[in-house]
Amino acid sequence: MNSSGIADGAAAVIITTERKAKELGSDYIVLEDVEGASDSIALYERDDMLTLVSTKQAAEKVYKSSGFGPQDVDIAEVHDCFSIAEALALEDLGFSPKREVWRWIRKSLEDCENKEAPIPYELPNNDSLFVNTSGGLKAKGHPVGATGIAQVVEVTEQLRNEAGERQIPDAEVGITHNVGGSGGTAVVSLLRKP
């Protein structure tokens, strides 16, 4: 199936100041920035059917405000409601030149055969990016209301070394990417270890 079905779901995070988290002795993660952007919902009004302008703009704002770039990200949870959506997201988030990411996705899938541990993508703009270690939206049944926060929970667990069998090595920076209206809106968040 190329599209995930819609399911119910729930996720939650606690947001506070860094000072309060330190006072509580919490193993906290810093939410460096969250940015959103929009584009036309009507696909026929877009200049390029293979570019989500909202994703590109939201990512550019996050990178500019945080001082981090695609090369600094260790883990990405991207909106993969359709098979093509992951590829478009990786390109529009700046991890690969346009219309090239399929090469690295194919290589990663070949590398994953007969391996149980998560395998990173080796992309032109990031040499070791782990993508959708949660399994992505299709593995969750695409819980629309919980999607964005569920992505933040996965990245937080990875950065805190609490992801169990899904754990990736030495994660310091993570990004989440969520879209609505076929890319009419996008929200990108960057999280990091303190």
Q: Give domain status of residue 27, yes or no.
A: no
Q: Give domain status of residue 125, yes or no.
A: yes
Q: What is the pLDDT of residues 72-102, one digit of tens each?
A: 999 999 999 888 899 999 999 999 989 888 8
Q: Give domain status of residue 188, yes or no.
A: yes
pLDDT value at position 113?
67
Q: Give domain status of residue 3, yes or no.
A: no
The residue segments making up the domain with residue 41 are: 32-192
- Name every residue whose Cβ is closer than 8 Å to that of residue 3 and which is 6 or more positions away in sequence: 81, 82
Q: Give domain status of residue 6, yes or no.
A: no
Taking the C-alpha atoms of residue 155 and residue 133, their distance in angstroms, rounded to an integer, is: 9
Q: Give domain status of residue 67, yes or no.
A: yes
Q: Give domain status of residue 56, yes or no.
A: yes
pLDDT value at position 1?
43
DSSP 164: G
- What one-character-per-residue DSSP string does 5-43 give? PP-----------HHHHHHTT----EEEEEEEEE--S-G
Q: What is the pLDDT of residues 118-156, one digit of tens each?
A: 767 667 777 789 999 998 988 888 888 788 889 999 999
pLDDT value at position 190?
98
- Name every residue whose Cβ is closer than 8 Å to that of residue 178 and which is 6 or more positions away in sequence: 79, 147, 148, 151, 186, 187, 188
Q: What is the pLDDT of residues 21-76, one digit of tens each?
A: 889 888 899 999 999 999 998 888 988 989 999 999 999 999 999 999 999 999 99
Assign residue 80 the CATH number of its domain: 3.40.47.10
Q: Give domain status of residue 24, yes or no.
A: no
Work out how many domains the chain is built from and give that number.
1
